[in-house]
Amino acid sequence: MKYRNLGNTGIEVSEIGLGCEHLEKKSYELIKSVIDIAFENGISILDIFMSEPEVRSNIGKAIKGYRDKIILQGHIGSGWLDEQYGRTRKIDECIFFFEDFMKRLDTDYVDIGMIHYVDTKEDYDNIFEGEIIQYAERLKKEGKIRVIGMSSHNPIEALRAVKTGLIDVLMFSINPAYDILSEDTDIDGLFASKTYENENLNGINKVRNELYQTCEAMNVGITVMKTLGAGTLLNEKTSPFGIALTVPQAIHYSLTRPAVSSVLIGCNSPEQVLDAVKYENASDEERDYSVILSATSKFSAKGRCMYCNHCLPCPSRIDIAQVNKYLDLAKLSEQIPETVKQHYSLLNATAQDCIACGNCEKNCPFEVAIIDKMEEAKKVFGK
Ligand code: SF4
Ligand code: SF4
């Protein structure tokens, strides 16, 4: 298992994490077996948004003995209301259910205190101008949470939150199907196949792209939900592209977006955990999503780098995707962010090592003018 920095929090997380939502209504024995196999395979981060009391208690029991080795992502604003899950914005309920979370998980701190599911402007305003953000900041000050996060499916509100500098972590829905949707797509539409009928399909949506790049520039780590599009991307009949992606391809797509630290895969059996972690030993060919996406007219990214590295090998050993990623980030703002400069300077080979052989351009399925990009990167970064 590989581990990544969670933005600038100082926390390291496994690049594959466990989304626990499918463990609800499952027996303790099953929950224990899923969590044990996840740990045995190096998974170190768990997302638990569910408010149902029994699943919380069962997960708490299952992680006994592991607590100091795992990163818990718990949610502020997820409540058990009228015997069912619901979002709450009442501060007394937020406090009650977050304390309930810590009690049932048998812990006196939560690593990531995630403000839960903020998808509308009204909700965002209410949270960031009201008591909920203050509560999150108080929890952080008291050491009950280590960092503040926010979960969202809406790139506009997510971008607003990141730009405030108040959140350390963003949990966001990322997969190639969502990425092509316009920024104001209704959340309910994310799952409807008809949503894709009239989309102006031109690769990754501009605002979504800006969101990922801003997170990278501000060093805000992203934890990803919906990597597999709730399974729809794995079947050609349900995939909006009319072609199926494999689990490693879908995971690789999310992991190659800027700022992404971990993809949280929802599993309800030990076999599903093993399926997800197969990614770690998958070959470059097995992970390569570019061939699939470039083969569909519904995902047109001609001339735009997707950071897939299908263009390798390079005789100068340049990590072409990384160079292009840092170049795109540098072009986002007038002044190149220090973090981007630092990351670029740490590359083993940089754009100045390009000998313009053109091998990469023949291999790029998205027809990126790579030699020109290398020239540009050399000018922008001075090497
Ligand atoms: S240049 Fe082409 S092949 Fe290389 S990383 Fe970018 S999109 Fe992928
Ligand atoms: S053109 Fe430059 S970046 Fe592309 S393979 Fe050749 S040396 Fe590498």
Q: Is residue 309 assigned to a domain?
A: no
Look at residue 308 in the predicted model and tell me its pLDDT: 76
> Relative to the CA of 320, which ligand 2 atom is closest?
3
Phi, psi of 316 (to 5 degrees): -95, 5
Which residue has better confidence, 303 or 91?
Answer: 91
Ligand lying closest to the C-alpha of residue 203: 1
Is 277 in the same domain as 357? no
41 falls in which pLDDT band (50, 70, 90)? very high
Q: Is residue 175 assigned to a domain?
A: yes
**Of 264, 286, 308, which one is at a domain's C-terminal end?**
286
Q: Is residue 305 assigned to a domain?
A: no
Domain residues for the domain of 187 are 3-286
Q: Could you give the number of structural domains in the chain? A: 2
pTM of the model: 0.85
42 falls in which pLDDT band (50, 70, 90)? very high
Pocket test for ligand 1, best of 288, 290, 371 (most atoms within 8 A of CB): 290
322 C-alpha to center of ligand 1: Å? 10
**Average pLDDT of 164-173?**
96
Q: Is residue 308 assigned to a domain?
A: no
34 C-alpha to center of ligand 2: Å? 44
Q: Residues near ligand 1 with C-beta < 6 Å? A: 290, 305-311, 320-321, 324, 364, 366, 368, 370
Ligand lying closest to the C-alpha of residue 368: 1
243 touches 236 (CB < 8 A): yes
pLDDT for 189 beyond 70: no
**Of 286, 301, 332, which one is at a domain's C-terminal end?**
286
319 C-alpha to center of ligand 2: Å? 10
Give 334's Cβ-side CA count (13 Å radius). Answer: 0
Is 238 in the same domain as 370? no
Ligand lying closest to the C-alpha of residue 301: 1
Ligand lying closest to the C-alpha of residue 355: 2
pLDDT tens, position by position, 260-285: 999 999 999 999 999 999 999 999 99
364 C-alpha to center of ligand 1: Å? 5
> Relative to the CA of 323, which ligand 2 atom is closest?
3
Is 272 in the same domain as 327? no
340 C-alpha to center of ligand 2: Å? 22
320-332 and 206-218 helices, crossing angle to 10°: 90
> Relative to the CA of 363, which ligand 1 atom is closest?
3
Look at residue 56 in the predicted model and tell me its pLDDT: 97
Q: Is the CB of 314 under 6 A from ligand 2?
A: yes
Is 245 in the same domain as 336? no
Look at residue 301 in the predicted model and tell me its pLDDT: 63
176 touches 226 (CB < 8 A): no
Q: What percent of the chain has pLDDT over 70?
A: 94
Ligand lying closest to the C-alpha of residue 369: 1
**Of 233, 267, 286, which one is at a domain's C-terminal end?**
286
65 falls in which pLDDT band (50, 70, 90)? confident
Helix (H, G, I), strand (E, B) or coil at 147: strand
Q: Give the range among 24-28, 30-34, 227-231, 368-372 with minimum mean pLDDT.
A: 227-231
pLDDT tens, position by position, 220-230: 999 999 999 87
365 C-alpha to center of ligand 1: Å? 7
- Tell the residue nearest (CA) to atom 8 of ligand 2: 314
Look at residue 200 in the predicted model and tell me its pLDDT: 54
Look at residue 199 in the predicted model and tell me its pLDDT: 57
Q: Is the CB of 35 under 6 A from ligand 2?
A: no
- Tell the residue nearest (CA) to atom 6 of ligand 2: 357
196 falls in which pLDDT band (50, 70, 90)? low
Look at residue 10 in the predicted model and tell me its pLDDT: 97
Q: Distance (Å, rounded) from C-alpha 123 to C-alpha 140? A: 22
pLDDT for 192 beyond 70: no
User: Which residue carries 């091998």 as its tokens?
Assistant: 359
294 C-alpha to center of ligand 1: Å? 11
Look at residue 188 in the predicted model and tell me its pLDDT: 67
Is 96 in the same domain as 189? yes
Ligand lying closest to the C-alpha of residue 291: 1
Is 146 in the same domain as 103? yes
Is 331 in the same domain as 277? no
Q: Is the CB of 371 under 6 A from ligand 2?
A: yes
Q: Is residue 313 assigned to a domain?
A: no
Look at residue 209 in the predicted model and tell me its pLDDT: 92
Q: What percent of the chain has pLDDT over 90?
A: 72
Q: Is residue 53 assigned to a domain?
A: yes
Amino acid at 116: H
> Relative to the CA of 371, which ligand 2 atom is closest?
1
Look at residue 129 in the predicted model and tell me its pLDDT: 96
The CATH number of whichever domain residue 31 belongs to comes to 3.20.20.100
Which residue has better confidence, 198 or 120?
Answer: 120
Is 266 in the same domain as 336? no
Q: Is residue 279 assigned to a domain?
A: yes
Q: Is residue 211 assigned to a domain?
A: yes
Is 208 in the same domain as 324? no
Q: Distance (Å, rounded) from C-alpha 326 to C-alpha 374? A: 11
363 C-alpha to center of ligand 2: Å? 11
**Average pLDDT of 159-167?**
97
- Residue 178 token pair: 């969502």
> Relative to the CA of 358, which ligand 2 atom is closest?
1
Is 249 in the same domain as 357? no
pLDDT for 291 beyond 80: no
Look at residue 309 in the predicted model and tell me its pLDDT: 80
Look at residue 236 in the predicted model and tell me its pLDDT: 85
Sort 262 into a burial class: Cβ within 10 Å, 0-12 / 13-18 / 19+: buried
pLDDT tens, position by position, 99-157: 999 999 999 999 999 999 999 999 999 999 999 999 999 999 999 999 999 999 999 99
Is 272 in the same domain as 332? no
Q: Is the CB of 356 under 6 A from ligand 2?
A: yes
DSSP secondary structure code for residue 122 in this structure:
H
pLDDT for 94 beyond 90: yes
DSSP secondary structure code for residue 220 in this structure:
-
Is 146 in the same domain as 254? yes
362 C-alpha to center of ligand 2: Å? 10
CB count within 10 Å of CB 56 equals 24
- Tell the residue nearest (CA) to atom 7 of ligand 2: 354
pLDDT tens, position by position, 318-372: 999 999 989 988 887 778 888 889 989 999 999 999 999 999 998 886 788 999 9
Which residue has better confidence, 134 or 292?
Answer: 134
